[in-house]
Structure 1
Amino acid sequence: MTFNQNISHFLSQSDGVGQALFTLLLVMSISSWYFIVIKAWQGMSNRRQTRRFLDQFWNAASLDEVAQQLHQHRDDEPFSHLTYHAINATRHHALHGVQRLQETGSAGEFLTRAIRRVIDEETAKLEWGLTALASIASTSPFVGLFGTVWGVYHALLGIGQSGQGSLEQIAGPVGEALIMTGLGLAVAIPAVLAYNDCVRSNRLLLAQLDAFAHDLFAFLTTGSAIIASQVDATASQKLTLINTGVK
């Protein structure tokens, strides 16, 4: 008997509880693979766009050129997003000064808050879907195990009612019930592997983004010609903000 036949036979012999558990595992599997495919595609797209932006950034003649390029075209990836908002924050504070509570402090402090906000936003984007993957990976084996226990109970109950307790009568129903354990593991294993890979990739990307944020902060506060009016900050303030502000 093939696997599909075993599944069909199991479902035909199961009650409402067993069928509901099987449907739940099927939904978990579809959801897991949806997040796996989406996260993989987003990761490849972000890496390609990041390489292109960083190549343009480090080969630009000035931050004015970078700002112009970002104004004309900006990809939806963390590094260009951070650069765009950091440059705008520096320009805004230099042109308008302190007009609202969120603009209080020096230009460096305002820039630091803008960089923090963007990094927090990018972290939240990167973590999208990870909670679902972790939940599926941790719960699906137990759902499968519960389905196995319920299937074995249901099979033994039927055997007891029929009064036939031979090995041939027991092995078939019990073996079919064990399918639920295999299904639970089949759902959990890809979710665990995908979750671990995403966490590692996000950690590496955020570390690179943090290092880039330090470089960008230094460029915007140490005399790079981004605006006509330069940001006035002392060396001690710069060192303190770089070491403690963006983490």
Structure 2
Amino acid sequence: MDRWLWLQQGDAVTQGTATLLLALSVASWVVMACKGWLLARSRRQVPRCVAAFWQAPDLATARSQVAALDGGGLVLPLVDALQAPRASAQGGAPLAQQGAAPAQLTRGLRAALQRASVPLQWGQVLLASVGTLAPFVGLLGTVWGIHHALTLLADAQSIGIAQLAAPVGEALVMTAAGLAVAIPAVLGYNLLGRSASRIEAELEGFAHDLQAFFGDPAQPAP
């Protein structure tokens, strides 16, 4: 219990930095757990959806099979982009419906990829922020803790190494706590970001195949 005495006797700055580090740690671990589950599910579902699409006999069957397998909703928007309106010559039609069919398909696939990237990139900013901010928060807590300890010892009759080492050493725990919060966040950012990039690359490849196959004017309309 004595090892936490410096925190109990600390002022608002010391306790505030400790609380902030705890909040950053909890937030980063929650994000890593949720996103790890999401990416693990997507790594299984995306290849299955793509394979089911190309093995279907027609577009309607392909869409129904993808919809049944795509629990994360990453592949189905790309398939739905194939239903973009054909070029319209009617007056007053929106600009999105006045372009050529390949241009409309390209626009729809690009919008679908952008929507798919939102859940894949979710939490990356928070993990990067925690990895950058936590060491500085811990250093602030250490510096302020040492300052607070020296202030309390200033009124003592005599100050020796024994009296000084204990509060200073305990205050250095804040630096270690900051690193303990930052290191998992940085590792999670790199590992999860790499996994998300692989899924995005697979979705982009599928979108490219759809554009090459259905965007050809010689091909019949889906």
What is the TM-score normalised by the length of structure 1?
A: 0.81
Per-residue deviation, 1:88: 2.0
In structure 2, the CA distance between the partners of 1:211 and 1:35, relative to structure 1 (3 Å rule), is: same
Query: Percent of counterpart pairs with the same letter?
Result: 39
Q: 1:14 aligns with which of 10, 28, 33?
A: 10
Counterpart of 2:200? 206
On the 8 A contact 1:22/1:180 being kept in 2, the answer is yes
Give the match's secondary structure for 1:161.
Answer: coil
Give the match's secondary structure for 1:165.
Answer: coil
Return the alpha-carbon distance in structure 2 between the equivalents of residues 194 and 64 of structure 1. Answer: 39
On the 8 A contact 2:146/2:167 being kept in 1, the answer is yes
In structure 2, the CA distance between the partners of 1:224 and 1:57, relative to structure 1 (3 Å rule), is: farther
Q: 1:123 aligns with which of 108, 117, 125?
A: 117
On the 8 A contact 1:140/1:185 being kept in 2, the answer is yes
On the 8 A contact 2:131/2:183 being kept in 1, the answer is yes
Q: 1:178 aligns with which of 172, 176, 181?
A: 172
The letter of the residue matching 2:180 is: A
Counterpart of 1:156? 150
The letter of the residue matching 1:175 is: G
1:42 aligns with 2:38: yes
On the 8 A contact 2:67/2:76 being kept in 1, the answer is no
Return the alpha-carbon distance in structure 2 between the equivalents of residues 107 and 214 of structure 1. Answer: 15
In structure 2, the CA distance between the partners of 1:126 and 1:68, relative to structure 1 (3 Å rule), is: closer
Q: How many residues align?
A: 220
In structure 2, the CA distance between the partners of 1:108 and 1:49, relative to structure 1 (3 Å rule), is: same
Q: 1:191 aligns with which of 177, 181, 185?
A: 185
Q: 1:93 aligns with which of 81, 86, 92?
A: 86
The letter of the residue matching 2:176 is: G
1:103 aligns with 2:97: yes
The letter of the residue matching 2:119 is: K
Per-residue deviation, 1:223: 7.9
Per-residue deviation, 1:74: 4.5
Counterpart of 1:27? 23
1:79 aligns with 2:75: yes
The letter of the residue matching 2:5 is: H
On the 8 A contact 2:45/2:70 being kept in 1, the answer is no
Give the match's secondary structure for 2:174.
Answer: helix
Q: How does 1:127-142 map to 2 (within 5 A)?
A: 127-142=121-136
Please, which runs of 5 or more residues in structure 2 have no aligned partner?
A: none
On the 8 A contact 1:81/1:118 being kept in 2, the answer is yes
Per-residue deviation, 1:208: 1.6
What is the TM-score normalised by the length of structure 2?
A: 0.89
In structure 2, the CA distance between the partners of 1:123 and 1:73, relative to structure 1 (3 Å rule), is: closer
On the 8 A contact 2:134/2:181 being kept in 1, the answer is yes
Return the alpha-carbon distance in structure 2 between the equivalents of residues 196 and 141 of structure 1. Answer: 18
Return the alpha-carbon distance in structure 1 between the equivalents of residues 99 and 72 of structure 2. Answer: 30
Return the alpha-carbon distance in structure 2 between the equivalents of residues 29 and 18 of structure 1. Answer: 17
On the 8 A contact 1:78/1:122 being kept in 2, the answer is yes
Return the alpha-carbon distance in structure 2 between the equivalents of residues 49 and 112 of structure 1. Answer: 24
Q: How does 1:216-227 map to 2 (within 5 A)?
A: 216-222=210-216
Per-residue deviation, 1:101: 1.6
On the 8 A contact 2:75/2:203 being kept in 1, the answer is yes
